[in-house]
Structure 1
Amino acid sequence: MRALFLVPLLLGSSALAGETKPGPGEVELAALYYYAEQKQQDRLEAETNRLRLKYPDFVVPADVYSPAARQVDESTLWALYEKNDFLGIDAEIGRRQSENPEWRPSEDFSGKLARRKQRVDMMAATARKDWMGVIEAAKSLDPSSETEVDLVWMLLDAYAQTGAKDALTDVYRGLLFREGDKRLPDQQLLTTLQKSTRDFSADDVRKAMGLLATSPMLQAVLQPVELDLTRKEVADFNADEKRQTPIGESEVGKLRLAAEKGDRPEDLALLGWYDLKLKAPESAERWFKAALVKHRDENDAKGLYLSLAAQNKQDEAYAVAEQYLEDLSGDPEFLMNALSLRFSKPDQPDADVKTVTAYSNAILATSNADHAEILAWYAYNSRQYEASKAWFAKSIDWESAPVRVKGLALSLLRLGEKKDYAALEGEYRDIYPDIWAEIKVATPPKGRRSIAIDMPVASIGGTGYLAHFKAKRFSACIEDISAMEARGAVSADAMLIKGWCHLGLNRLADARNAFEAALGNGRTQADAAYGAALTLLRGRLTDDAEAMIGMYALSEKRDREVRAEIYFQRARSAFDHKQYQRVLDALNARAGLVAEPADLSQLRGWAHYHLGHRAEAQAVFARLNTHLYDPAAARGLAISSDYPTR
């Protein structure tokens, strides 16, 4: 990459000589001509004085009293300009030119319009992160003289995002090393240098500052850039696992002082990770706590947890993980490890329902056999044998181990599933021969835990409500889950199964309630939304079903299935209400998703017929009659063709 700031030498001759001094444009002069035309002498003099104050060298145009100087009223164009209504402007210009082919907008309006369009295009491209679009829209900008500096900053962002280092360097050079009256104001210099800390090394930026800070006052203005460079160096140190040598404390000390006095949680977090890497967890804890007071953040919560864990403050660390469950769910590996202490040691107090659910979801998201085993033993020791069986089976699926097979065998014995136990022993006796004697003399657990353990849906099988559901014994399934509810909290998976059982019995209100109870769990949400949508459709609550799948994402196949049924119901309802165009609209929407069966094609034909589309109706019925003979289709063909049936 070219050095950022080789160039002060190249910029010495950049100032342009002999520039004309600014004066009023046509818009400002328009008022002057108007007052002269209206013979409002007092206003004319006041406007003249105003312009002379603004432009000391202003001279009243000689033709201001001439009829030829009469200005065309552009107020309509300017009103559209203020609204960024470029299509309206084009239409108005076209209208005027149709009346007077010689007419053209004033140069002032045309120039300002071109610049306004450029600004709007660049802002829109920036908003949608279309960086090549920003670069294309900015092609007429000259960084060394552009007065609307924010446009050049957008261009800097675009070049930075596209990796165009040479172009990026040129734009920075054009902004920073202007001379004379083109030199940027101090605040704009400061902002540009702050941006440069993102794109160039600290050494490059400091060299540029040395060239620019030619006075003590400007040096003071640029002090925030020094702080930004320290932030960058601390962030780079934190991110580089190989770097272990601390940054000079005199430099970091300035950031510590700014963090304590300022209101930037980012500074507090930077110092927290810095001290944590330097194995100073007490200091890191203080920084992360201060950051979290100002702003709730997942990474700051992680930093606080790690700082506390490094000091062996395990209970406090666990409390942080519980407090930030939702924030940390985006990193299931971290959350799973943070929560595992509560489940892995028998002397720990009970976890609450939210924590159990979060831990279960994290295990499923990571397919971690070790943590599945931890949760399985937690369930087993609380006498939740269905759950322990499911989690032991899941842990074995991911990675077999003798202790996991032992746990599954014990769960099967406690459930009285002798046939499944015998099959398991037959499968693993030769692989793990030492566990079976221990299993046969093991005593049942005391069942101290009381919180229900979530089960993975994929582990359906065995006895209890899961077995009833699999065998379509829906009433027995519901009774078992209702008994679980009476004893305390029930898992989202159980509520999902309860919903399907109620739906199997066509108890729509109960099914809807059960599915909605399972919507709050991330693991069961998609299945619950699908079940709720089918329940609503069975109750002909078409709009509610559409709202349901609008709120919760389904798989592509399920979404297509539900939407097809929605459009079918709307087509039938519209036909019953003699709204035949709506019938066609719904059928067309459905046909875009799935193939159209014969009965709906007949509905299409009759809708066309009632709308007076005889040719379309005849084509539909003829096509149906060609493929298979159907009396209803034949009748439709006869009526639409105006000849009698045989």
Structure 2
Amino acid sequence: MKPAIFIAAGTVLLGAMVLHQGGYLSSPATFPKAGTFPNAAQNPRDDASQQSLSKPITLAQGDQPVDADVAPASSRKIDESALRYFASKGETKRLNAEIARLKALYPDWTPPANPLAVRRQGDPQLDQMWKLYSAGKLAELRKAIADRQTAQAGWQPPADLLQRLALAEAREQLINASNLKQYDAVIRVGSTNSSLLTCGDVDVLWRVAEAFARTRREDRAKDAYLYILDNCKKPEERFATVQKALPLLSRQNLDQLLATEQKTPDGKGEFAALRGDIARQSLANADADPKLVIPAADIATVEGLAREGGLASDDLLLGWYYVQRDNPQRAETWFRKARDKEDTAKSSQGLALALINQNRPAEAEDILFRWRDTDDDTRKVYLAAVANLLAMTPPAPLTPQVLQRMVQAVYAAKDAASAQQFGWYADALNQPQTAAQWFKLALEWKPDEEPSAYGLALTRWKTGDKAGVREIQSAWIGRSERIPTVGERSIETAAVGKPRQAAAASNEAGQEQPSRRRPLAQVEVSEHSAARPRAATPGRARQAPRNCSTTLDPSSLSPQTALSRGWCLMQVNRPIEAAAAFDVALRGSGRTRADAAYGQSLAYLRAGLIDRAAIAASQAPMEAGRSIEIRTALLEAQANTAFDRGRYNETIMALDERARIAPERTGLMVLRGYAYLKLRRFADAEQAFRAAAATGNHDALRGLNDVRNERQSNMQ
């Protein structure tokens, strides 16, 4: 007859968890509900945890249950070898646990009146085996049993020893599988060795719960954690159970665990200290998923902890949370608090990112310079600050010291995007030869970067290097639509820059998140212009801004999504990023493509990039009204740029062309008057100024006075 096997009270019945083929059931596995089992349990490695039992509990499905008419102890041979061993060693706690176990198995069994005086029956080899078991030397114990069976025919070890050995080996296997993250094996071993899952060995229960969570069976993990909380009473283990569940369970399931909270003697909840950690975890989850909705109470909890506890890590959590939620102003507040407490690379990186997102790259560069080489993420954010600083309109005044350190950082990182920005910066300062050197360097670092090639061709054209222009045009045949046209159209005279990509920090998830956190994306940055256009850029964003304060590479977006993002970026005055989004939208068709061409034209006009606006306008047919609007704006911008460059005849030509399609505004009448005045066409200048002065324009009145003065000077 197969021996009946029992487990100590508190054992989790895994009948609902066992898969008959491979360790899993087809129906959902659950742990028993609260109150199903007594709390006492036996640790397979430490019998001291055994408590007295009121009645035996049978194992899971498949094991032999105890019949009601089982033979009394007096008619059966009871294995007291463990009892004798513990008694001989003077291990009182283990001895008492073994007595409790035997009484649970055999209720009519009576232990010796003086267990410590149990007479030792001589079997030194068996005693040595128990010693190996007690020391956890399971492999040596297996070998000792096999050796004795070989040497002594017919000898069998006590069934109790074999059962304990098998259970200890199963525990060891489960622990090893857990450490190796072999979670399916953890569940399989646990399901076939239900005696392991007891309150006496909560660590095993924790590991099984984690295995369920890691294999996407969160409900089963929750049930395992709830079983511990409902049946295991040690305060430190209950606290640790919720603590271990924090990173593994959803907030909804965590709330079920928290609902089991008990009061401590001082009247506080036993999980009070964990609620702050739960709120922190909530914000950390939000950093990984920008769309995750966080309870306001969690944000308030972490803000309170940041103010009261003074931990810089709490300030950083809040800073990253607000960066992800397109609120760089609030992010700046918390990053500054973190930096005041601990001036570290991470706090400085977060602060710099918040400043970049507020178009304050000079502050970002200054803050992050000392930390720029800490790690790749920090370096990328620093280079983003450099690129955005160089791209400001009008060009930012930079000290030689700042310029020099930026140059060194860009050169050390071999960052093509920032080198390209240096090219446009030099071009905006009317230093085309220096600009050409930077564009050439950018191409050496990234040969397939078309904007750098365009910039090099444009600056060579400006310096009269026609052979150099042809060289670039030849190399980019079929790969660029605009490089072959450099120098062929008068509109090139207005070109003062070209959009380009620069390494900039982004928190969008795909954020990841610097964990602290995640790798940074490539984004468009604001463009600069050497000219100072006086005309207002036409067109307003067609949609209210929504979730476009952070930067991202729009190439992964669908045309329609990119179109919406482009209008959003226009609304928050980030035209170059908008132009990049509209460029993706141009991949669409029909109305989407037409809207994208219109939007990109407006974006480049706002950035002062007239040549790019003209090219964008030709990408798709537009409605008549939009076509006139863009054409009018282009001619107005050309007139302003030509005047700034001293090309007054071109100014008049652009204004005449514009006047044929739209009424001339007062400001443009003044511009026309000064162009005539520069050409010493005094009568035409006076006529233009008088027409504008009739509207009460003060600039026109000054223009009339300038005409009189010039005439008098000319007569002398």
TM (norm. structure 1) is 0.50
* Structure having greater relative contact order (Cα 8 Å, sep ≥ 6): 2
Greater helix share, structure number: 1
Larger radius of gyration: 2
TM-score, normalised to structure 2's length? 0.45
